A and B are shown apart, each in its own frame.
Chain A
Amino acid sequence: DAGVIQSPRHEVTEMGQEVTLRCKPISGHDYLFWYRQTMMRGLELLIYFNNNVPIDDSGMPEDRFSAKMPNASFSTLKIQPSEPRDSAVYFCASTFIRDRVADTQYFGPGTRLTVL
C-alpha cells in the first residue's frame, strides 16, 4: 500500500484566499484524522471521521475551517478565508479498530501551509 497520501505537500497563499487540503487514507481503514502541528501548540487534533461520518470536530478552531469525507478513500480540509495564523503543517492519519483494539495511526507526509 502507498500509505496515507496528502496533497499538496506545500501551499503558499495570501490572506483571505480559500485553501483546500486533500487526503487519501490507507485502503480498508475506517478512521481518518486531521491534525495541525505548530511550534507553539505541537500536534493538535482538528477533526476525525469514522466510516465517513464526522465524530468529533471540537478541535476545529473556527467556522472558517470545514472538513468533508464524501467516501472512504477521500477527505478534504478547507480553510475559507485563510489567515496568517493558520500557517502550520496539516497532517492526515488513518487507522482501523478491530475487536475494540486500536491499531497504530498511520500518518501522511503533511501539507505545509503558509499564509502571507
Chain B
Amino acid sequence: KQEVTQIPAALSVPEGENLVLNCSFTDSAIYNLQWFRQDPGKGLTSLLLIQSSQREQTSGRLNASLDKSSGRSTLYIAASQPGDSATYLCAVRPGQAGTALIFGKGTTLSVSS
C-alpha cells in the first residue's frame, strides 16, 4: 500500500531564507507527483506536477524534484516571503490504482517578516 510522508510537519523561517520541504513515498511505481498549497480554510491549489518520466519542474521561485528510484521528492522555495506561509501537501498518483491521489499530511510553513 502506497504511503506518503512529509517531513517536517511544521517549519518556521525568517523572510528571505531558502528552504526545502521533503516528501517520501513507499512505492516507486507512480504516474506523477504533485505539490499543492493549502491556505487556512481554503481548498488546495496545485503548484507543480511532475510526470514520472521527469526529474524536476520549476515555477517562479519554486522548484520540485523527483527521484522515483529512491521514493523522494523535494520542494525548494527560494527567497521565502510571508505570503508563502501555508500548508504544503505532496501527493502521488499510484501507477496501477487509477487516477486518485494519495496525500501526505503536509508541512505547515510560517515565514516571518
Contact = CB atoms under 8 A, between A and B. Distances in A.
Q: How large is the interface on B (under 10, 10 to 19, 20 to 34, 35 or more residues)?
A: 20 to 34
A26 to B, nearest CB: 13
A39 B103 CA distance: 13
Chain A's interface: helix, strand, loop or mixed, by majority?
A: strand
A86 B104 CA distance: 20
B101 to A, nearest CB: 6
Interface string B97-113: 11111111110000000
A45 B99 contact: no
B89 A102 contact: no
A97 B99 contact: yes
Interface residues of A, number: 26
Contacts, number: 51
Contact of B32 (A42, A43, A55, A102): A102
Interface stretch (A14-22, A68-76, A77-85, A106-114): A106-114
Contact of A42 (B46, B51, B98, B103): B103
Interface string A84-116: 000000010101010001111111111010000
Contact of B104 (A31, A42, A91): A42
6 contacts: A31-B99, A42-B105, A45-B101, A101-B51, A106-B46, A107-B43
Across the A-B interface, the 4 shortest Cβ-Cβ residue pairs? A42-B105, A43-B103, A107-B44, A107-B43
